[in-house]
Amino acid sequence: MGALNGVRIVEFGGIGPGPFSAMMLAEMGAEVLRLDRVQPSDLGIARETRFDITQRSRPSVALDLQTSAGREAALRLIEQADALIEGYRPGVMERLGLGPDICLSRNPALVYGRMTGWGQTGPLAQSVGHDLNYLALSGILSKIGPEEKPAIPLSLIGDYGGGAMFLSLGVVAALFDARESGRGQVVDAAMVDGITTLFSSGFGSKASGELVDRRESNSVDGGAPWYGVYETKDGRFITIAPIERKFYRNLLELLGLGLSLLDSQFDRSQWPALRQRFEEIFRTKTRTEWEAIMEGHEICFAPVLTLEEAMHHPHMTARGRYAEIGGIRQPVPAPNFSRTPSEIRMPPRPAGADSEVALANWGFSRSEIARLIEEGVVVSAGQQADG
């Protein structure tokens, strides 16, 4: 049933954080209906639907929003929804006649979730961009990577951490309020905002002088030798992260190093020499040998696994972190709920795969659906395949 059972959400199809948020909410029990374009758009990604995992767990209706009949059909769905999610550039929904004012006039309790990179307002609101650009402007990219230049991280930080997670939290929080007040509102989730919020503790460290404005010079950015990645004898890698004194002590003892190093743990002038010593030590054994030595000791250790290795690691297996859906091994929903578990509700659905069934479930009559299909306002799964 899921924790969000009974919640209805209309999602306007897109890429990145919007679909990821919709996937999470659907797997937590919400009934999410995705409205896709009748003609495929250039999203910069070409892959079979079954590989687009963020499209799983909700049906798809292919609807032409450029037509008055298509917009009216969308508004009819929105009237029945508790929330809406869209990820277009600011002003697009308004030009379609589906902006917040119109939607809230039809459904005053609607939560209108908006996902963008730069936000709905500000000088850059109309600018294009992607995860890397938002990280750059936020100042956070300047803190990531080796000393020579910033590294390009996976899109987890901006798209999904600063974007999808904040959109999901904002929508759920607004739903709570709407249930009490009967009034909806707009949730302006901007990746550049979420990214900076994720770095809240870093701003505190900067103000206190603890954070040095140079990469690989701080405790958790690769500067400290006791918080880093080390190559092993066989060319693989391990990680150590004993920030706490008691764990650092355990590491020093395990490596046969003197406990006199405890007092200089945070002395930056000592870090280069100690890193060199750690590098020499860790290159003396293979990753497997270090696993045998270090696992089970309180030193904050883990091997750097490949994705394939991680999927079969005993800890991940014990927690049931992966499932095979449609022949694709993929993560199951998180977090875990003790009473209302989340679930993957269906494999990724192609655009329009569920047009007829989904519209019927949302109150459209058979004749209405047939007319919309005949007029080309709605495209069914069979028509998409024929096209």
Residues tagged active-site: 130, 159
Residue type, 356: E
Residue type, 195: I
Q: Give helix then strand counts, H and E, for the chain.
A: 16, 12
Using alpha carbons, select from 235, 274, 233, 272 the residue that is nearest to residue 251.
274
Cis peptide before 335 (omega within 30 of 0): yes
Using alpha carbons, select from 177, 154, 173 the residue that is nearest to residue 165.
173
CB atoms within 10 A of CB 235: 9
Rounded distance between C-alpha atoms, residue 54 and residue 17, angstroms: 9
The SS3 call for residue 307 is: helix
Q: Which residues contact 311 (CB under 8 A, 6 or more apart)?
A: 321, 322, 329
Using alpha carbons, select from 327, 280, 316 the residue that is nearest to residue 56.
327
Q: Which residues contact 337 (CB under 8 A, 6 or more apart)?
A: 2, 3, 28
CB atoms within 10 A of CB 349: 22
How far separated are the first and last CA of the chain, in Å rounded? 36
- Four-CA torsion 219, 222, 227, 229, nearest 10 degrees: 180
Instruction: Output the six-digit token pair for 321.
Output: 């972190």
